[in-house]
Amino acid sequence: MKSLAFFLCLFSLASSWAKPFSIEDLDPAKTQAYILQFQHIAIAEMDRAGIPASIKMAQGILESGSGASQLAIQANNHFGIKCGGKKHWDGPSFYLWDDETVKSCFRVYDQAEKSYIAHSEFLRNPKKAWRYGFLFDLDKTDYKAWAKGLQKAGYATAKTYSKNLISIIERYELYRLDHLSFQDLQLAPGELDSIFNLQPPPKDSVKGPEERLAIRIPDPFGEIKDTVELELPKGIIEVNGRKAMVLQVGESLHELAQRADIKLKKLERYNDFAEQGRPRAGQYVFLQRKKKRYKGEQHFHILRKGQDLRAVSQYYGIRLKSLEKLNKIYRKTLPQTGNKIRLKKE
């Protein structure tokens, strides 16, 4: 029994590893710089996976020491995600001593942002729904409930884990991140500083790895016009209870159909492409027919410049005809910038 427990401990996918940094170990200047660097991916993952950005940021800060841990620096692994055996991971690995007797295998990522995505997938893993599934029924703005829920689920063994997360969130006002959306990501780096009320520390006070381009996930309503390095989700995701994929930069709809192993005509029918235009890089392409009703919390969408009803239909996973009927919009009557588009009945 003891040997079995040892084996499970060694190859567990649990993201807590060794001992997380204490709050007293965190350098305020480095922590602020860390928040500025990774706030975009935290917000994007909140929109995609449903994990509060404040919680993800606080966990990253606590687990990696604001990016200063050996695992974060050498393996771009900010959440201590273990290999889990060859069945779960065949990529580069990094070994660290969990304690004086156990040497554990951790995953190596070519970019730190990918560990943020992996952290989401760990919590969303259907095989772990019995353990973490209840978290996704919580309000994404209730960071205290999420922090306490993670501790209750056994995410970390430290008795003060939830208190530490809450303390970090409140000290750095990370709860503000939970009220932003995917759409805010199209802002240029630095434009969000005034929203978060965070000023980057003087360059001399922050020492770390050489500066590199962070992954930016584009606004699915917009068009990619810059040359910033992009990392778009390549697998199947779920939008409003329907399977979808994200169109990659330079990828045609035909190529996505081949990648998804689905007929092109079906994609066109499921996504209303035969009626109105083609998707742009970064937009959702549904592999199933969209739902007639929106199951999310949002009730309205305010149209921005360049948006049309089909873009709203794609983003929220609602059939175009259902949106038109709900909003009493006809094909010849195009909605204007600033119009309020209803997503569900009152």
Over 90: is that where the pLDDT of 198 sits? Answer: no
Looking at 205, 227, 252, which one is the last position of a domain?
205
Whether residue 228 is contained in a domain is answered as no
What is the predicted pLDDT for the residue at 93?
86
- In this structure, the answer to whether residues 246 and 177 fall within a common structural domain is no
**Mean pLDDT of all residues in 311-316:** 85
**Mean pLDDT of all residues in 99-107:** 71
**Domain enclosing residue 324, as ranges:** 237-342
- In this structure, the answer to whether residues 192 and 260 fall within a common structural domain is no
What is the predicted pLDDT for the residue at 208?
38
Among 226-230, 279-283, 312-316, which stretch is predicted with the lowest mean pLDDT? 226-230
- In this structure, the answer to whether residues 284 and 169 fall within a common structural domain is no
- In this structure, the answer to whether residues 11 and 73 fall within a common structural domain is yes
- In this structure, the answer to whether residues 183 and 39 fall within a common structural domain is yes
Cα separation, 201 vs 103, whole angstroms: 36
Distances (CA, A) of 96 to 5, 7, 107: 19, 16, 11
Whether residue 103 is contained in a domain is answered as yes
Over 70: is that where the pLDDT of 280 sits? Answer: yes
What is the predicted pLDDT for the residue at 78?
94
Whether residue 295 is contained in a domain is answered as yes
Distances (CA, A) of 94 to 97, 106, 109, 230: 10, 5, 10, 25
- Give the DSSP H or E segment for 193: helix 193-196
Residue with tokens 């692994």: 77
What is the predicted pLDDT for the residue at 29?
85
Mean pLDDT of the chain: 76
- In this structure, the answer to whether residues 192 and 50 fall within a common structural domain is yes
Please report, for the domain that includes residue 249, its CATH number.
Answer: 3.10.350.10
pLDDT category of residue 214 using cuts at 50, 70 and 90? very low
What is the predicted pLDDT for the residue at 199?
41
Whether residue 11 is contained in a domain is answered as yes
Whether residue 230 is contained in a domain is answered as no
- The closest alpha carbon to 52, from 127, 113, 156, 123, belongs to 123
Among 4-13, 272-281, 325-334, which stretch is predicted with the lowest mean pLDDT? 4-13
> Are residues 156 and 150 in contact, defined by beta-carbon separation less than 8 angstroms?
yes
- In this structure, the answer to whether residues 259 and 193 fall within a common structural domain is no
- In this structure, the answer to whether residues 201 and 84 fall within a common structural domain is yes
| 104 three-class SS | strand
Question: What would the pLDDT profile of 15-55 be if each residue is shown by its tens digit?
Answer: 334 455 667 778 888 888 899 889 888 988 898 889 999 99
Number of H helices, E strands in the chain: 13, 7
Whether residue 216 is contained in a domain is answered as no
Q: Which amino acid is at 299?
A: H
- In this structure, the answer to whether residues 109 and 178 fall within a common structural domain is yes
| 195 three-class SS | helix
> Is 3 or 106 the better-scoring residue by pLDDT?
106
> Are residues 167 and 55 in contact, defined by beta-carbon separation less than 8 angstroms?
no
- In this structure, the answer to whether residues 242 and 128 fall within a common structural domain is no
The model's pTM is: 0.52
Residue with tokens 């919680």: 55
Over 70: is that where the pLDDT of 213 sits? Answer: no
Looking at 182, 205, 228, which one is the last position of a domain?
205
- In this structure, the answer to whether residues 200 and 263 fall within a common structural domain is no
**Mean pLDDT of all residues in 94-107:** 72
Cα separation, 251 vs 248, whole angstroms: 5
Among 18-27, 190-199, 208-217, 275-284, which stretch is predicted with the lowest mean pLDDT? 208-217
338 sits in the region (left: phi over 0; alpha: psi -120 to 50; else beta) called: left
Please report, for the domain that includes residue 112, its CATH number.
Answer: 1.10.530.10
- The closest alpha carbon to 161, from 306, 301, 295, 19, belongs to 19
Cα separation, 195 vs 299, whole angstroms: 24
Question: What would the pLDDT profile of 161-181 be if each residue is shown by its tens digit?
Answer: 999 999 999 988 898 888 887
Whether residue 231 is contained in a domain is answered as no
What is the predicted pLDDT for the residue at 344?
87
> Are residues 77 and 71 in contact, defined by beta-carbon separation less than 8 angstroms?
yes
Structural domains counted in the chain? 2
Looking at 162, 190, 205, which one is the last position of a domain?
205
Whether residue 100 is contained in a domain is answered as yes
What is the predicted pLDDT for the residue at 185?
56
- In this structure, the answer to whether residues 192 and 270 fall within a common structural domain is no
